Amino acid sequence: MNLEQKVLQSQRVYNRMEIPMELGMMVAGAIRSVPGNITPLPVKTKKTRWRKAVAAVAAVLLCFTAGLNASEAFAEAVSKVPVLGDLSRVLTFREYRWKDNDKSMHIAVPQIQTEEGESSALVGDINAEIERIVEAYKEEAEQRIAEYKEAFIATGGTEEEFAQKNIKVNVDYSVKYESQDCLSLVLSADEDWSGAYGVQYYYNLDLKEGRKLTLSDLLGDDYVQTANAEIKRQMQERLAADPELVYFDGSNGMQGFTTVDENTNFYISQKGNPVVVFEKYAIAPGAFGVQEFEIQAQA
């Protein structure tokens, strides 16, 4: 191997360089610090997005939706008053908080209750799955933080400095929509020191029938076309309103939004509409956070 080839091969060291977590935030902040002379962003939008970016640092979302069989049946169900915040059938099964020298943890494990006459098989499976996911997340988070600490100390940091980071792990949930037969729940978990460990699970369930809801239940057989058209329209709208926003478009090797399919993540809004969710980095640079698109459900 001649010298030029050697130098060329050492490019892989360069490319494997560890990129610090704060880079994305810093770049977004630096860009925002110089106002553009074309359509300056309203202050409110700026704040919202900044907060969103911070919140997105490691958001894990789990979403459960209980719903119906056919879209007519769903339309009927959503016309009922949601019982949100009232007598929810989602209960906090376990909740714990603790703190040691390296971190503080808060973990809430939700479980869904079934009522008489409802099939409990699917709900049972999902409750068990939630427990498994939360448990695994907790263990992995502890391990990651221990490894981070080890590296931190090995590179000259002290125990005190590490403790000052005040790392927090949080697993929690919120009910997005709930009616007689239909439930939408988001479980979120995050580690505030790193954006790299987000995991997302979305479940859409029909409690009465004991099955998962799909986008086609909410949007009809043409859900792919309907959702794609609406998402593209909203992307254009957001791009027009915000000169700083960027969506990947296939240049620079970053494939952006192409299409929804049966595996696309979504939850249900209080209006009963599906909200399609794209995680950080899925269709836009990480600095722009999670991208959500609410789509009018089929009447």
Partner 1 sequence: MELREELVAFLTENQEKFYRLAFSYMHSKDGALDAIQNAIVRALQHYQDLRNEAYLKTWFYRILVNECCTYLRKSGRERLYEPEVLQWKQDRQQEQQDPEWESDLEVYERVIELPEEKRTVVLLRFYEGLSLQEISKVTNTSLSTVKYRLYAALKQLKRSLTEVSQ
The residues that touch partner 1, with contacts defined as CB under 8 A, are 3-4, 6-20, 22-24, 26-28, 30-31, 33-34, 36-38, 151, 155, 243-244, 246, 252, 254, 285, 287
The residues facing 171 across adjacent strands are: 107, 189
Q: Which is nearer to partner 1, 101 or 251 (by Cβ)? A: 251
Cα separation, 298 vs 181, in Å, equals: 18
Closest approach of partner 1 to the CB of residue 53, in Å: 12
Q: Which is nearer to partner 1, 107 or 287 (by Cβ)? A: 287
Question: What region, left, alpha or beta, does residue 210 occupy, with left being phi > 0 and alpha being psi -120 to 50 degrees?
Answer: left
Closest approach of partner 1 to the CB of residue 197, in Å: 16
Collapse the DSSP code of 210 into the 3-class scheme (helix H, G, I; strand E, B; otherwise coil) and give the result.
Answer: coil
Strand-by-strand arrangement of the 291-294 sheet: 266-268, 274-278, 291-294
Collapse the DSSP code of 81 into the 3-class scheme (helix H, G, I; strand E, B; otherwise coil) and give the result.
Answer: coil
Q: Which is nearer to partner 1, 32 or 106 (by Cβ)? A: 32
Q: Tell me the backbone φ, ψ of residue 151, rounded to 5 degrees.
A: -65, -40
Closest approach of partner 1 to the CB of residue 118, in Å: 48
Closest approach of partner 1 to the CB of residue 114, in Å: 46
Inter-residue long-range contacts of 289-293, CB under 8 Å, 24+ positions, other chains counted = 289/49, 289/52, 289/53, 289/55, 289/56, 290/52, 290/56, 290/59, 293/227, 293/230, 293/231, 293/234
Q: Which is nearer to partner 1, 206 or 279 (by Cβ)? A: 279
Closest approach of partner 1 to the CB of residue 238, in Å: 13
Q: Which is nearer to partner 1, 117 or 253 (by Cβ)? A: 253
Closest approach of partner 1 to the CB of residue 151, in Å: 7
The residues facing 27 across adjacent strands are: none
Q: Which is nearer to partner 1, 30 or 299 (by Cβ)? A: 30
